[in-house]
């Protein structure tokens, strides 16, 4: 049957990114690093943006690096200009750089703690949406990295959660504003991923173990899993998804897993046993 759409991926190898220019922020580590490799493997020319210098990796992958702070608008405007000067345009923007400071309850949250998360995790997405899409052609894609904390709550993560809800909100507004130009905007919402960010927390190991037990799949997300989802959303094989926060959570938010149910049941029985002894 004749397609009713101008389907740009028709006739190309699956999820092919050959000839596309892909900017990735937070490219030096974790999800960003895995995403750069994945998109480059699929044929994209990468532009690696990070506070850290990524020149060696960029050269190895045939791209360029731009050292930039995503919370500073001028830095991101300069990174976008460098990409366009060198390659003529940007087809894919992955606004992924982010931070997670030590969690604190709302009662102890300071303006600095709140603003630092907002500056990097929310403004970083805003500046990426604003500057990386200026010359983006039809068929372009933006993928932001939000978090499970962008769609649900977790105690003591008020500042982080608020910044990630912003990232989801900006994704949805971006989809509305850029859709008429043929550009899709989505975001990924992972639970804990096996990256340095997770291990920066004192309780990282315990968090990983609990999440594994809580997940029906009994898995922890690897950065390559997140990169695979970014690749799916960046490619134009399925060009009809936009404005979506996509959960990547090993099934945790689907319901109460057997592992959690058993652990709670055991705790309740232990408490009941203790009560009977007392
Ligand atoms: P990571 O710490 O391994 O990598 C983050 C990268 O971002 C680093 O290379 C760092 O230098 C860079 N960065 C930090 N602040 C920056 C700034 N102001 N400007 C430019 N670059 C900056 O962390 P990760 O786990 O790969 O995190 C990537 C994204 O995934 C973040 O947005 C994070 O909030 C999100 N996320 C992570 C997890 C997790 O458990 N690791 C879960 C959900 C969401």
- pLDDT tens for each residue of 23-35: 999 999 999 999 9
Q: Which of 147, 47, 119 is nearest to 89 (CA)?
A: 47
Instruction: Tell me if 242 CB under 6 Å of ligand 1.
Output: no
Q: Whose CA is nearest to atom 40 of ligand 1?
A: 192
SS3 per residue for 107-131: HHCCHHHHHHHHHHHHHHHHHHHHH
CB 199 within 8 A of CB 266: no
| Cβ–ligand 1 contact at 24 (below 6 Å) | no
The reply to whether 147 belongs to the active site is yes
Question: What is the tens place of the pLDDT at every residue in 157-187?
Answer: 999 999 999 999 999 999 999 999 999 999 9
Give the DSSP H or E segment for 230.
helix 223-234
Is 164 catalytic? The answer is yes
Residue 249, SS3 per DSSP: coil
Q: Residue range 87-97: average pLDDT?
A: 98
**What pLDDT score was predicted for residue 263?**
83
**Average pLDDT in the chain:** 94
pTM of the model: 0.95
In the prediction, which pLDDT does 8 show?
A: 62
Alpha-helical (H) ranges within 28-151 are 30-41, 55-60, 73-87, 111-117, 124-131
248: pLDDT strictly greater than 70: yes
Within 137-257, residue ranges assigned H as helices are 158-178, 196-199, 204-214, 223-234
The DSSP element (H or E) to which 265 belongs, if any, is: helix 258-277
With a 6 Å cutoff on the Cβ, whether 63 touches ligand 1 is no
Give per-residue pLDDT as tens, 206-228.
878 888 888 899 999 999 999 99
Phi–psi pair at 71, nearest 5 degrees: -80, -5
pLDDT band per the 50, 70, 90 thresholds, residue 202: low
Catalytic-role residue among 71, 157, 160, 165 = 160
Least confident of 45-49, 112-116, 137-141, 262-266: 262-266
Helix (H) or strand (E) holding 269: helix 258-277
Of ligand 1's listed atoms, the one at least distance from the Cα of 70 is: 19
Tracing tokens 């060696």 back to the chain, one arrives at 56
Ligand 1 neighbour 197 (Cβ under 6 A) = yes
Residue 269 structure tokens: 């029985």
């Amino acid at each position: 049957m004749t397609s009713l759409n101008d389907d740009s991926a028709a006739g190309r190898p699956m999820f092919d990114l050959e000839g596309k220019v892909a900017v990735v922020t937070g490219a030096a580590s974790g999800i960003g690093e895995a995403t750069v490799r994945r998109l480059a493997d699929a044929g994209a020319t990468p532009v690696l943006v990070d506070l850290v210098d990524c020149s060696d990796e960029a050269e190895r992958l045939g791209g360029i690096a731009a050292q930039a702070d995503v919370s500073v608008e001028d830095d991101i405007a300069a990174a976008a200009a460098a990409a366009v000067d060198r390659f003529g345009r940007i087809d894919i923007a992955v606004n992924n750089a982010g931070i997670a400071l030590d969690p604190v309850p709302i009662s102890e949250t300071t303006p600095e703690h709140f603003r630092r998360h907002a500056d990097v995790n929310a403004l970083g997405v805003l500046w990426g949406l604003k500057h990386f899409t200026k010359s983006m052609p039809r068929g372009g894609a933006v993928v932001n990295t939000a978090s499970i904390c962008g769609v649900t709550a977790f105690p003591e993560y008020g500042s982080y959660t608020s910044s990630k809800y912003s990232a989801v909100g900006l994704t949805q507004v971006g989809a509305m504003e850029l859709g008429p130009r043929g550009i899709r905007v989505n975001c990924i919402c992972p639970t804990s991923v096996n990256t340095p960010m997770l291990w920066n927390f004192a309780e990282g190991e315990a968090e990983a173990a609990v999440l594994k037990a809580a997940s029906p799949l009994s898995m922890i997300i690897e950065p390559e899993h997140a990169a695979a989802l970014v690749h799916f959303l960046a490619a134009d094989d399925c060009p009809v998804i936009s404005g979506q926060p996509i959960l990547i959570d090993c099934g945790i938010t689907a319901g109460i897993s057997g592992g959690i149910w058993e652990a709670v049941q055991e705790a309740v029985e232990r408490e009941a046993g203790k009560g009977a002894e007392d």
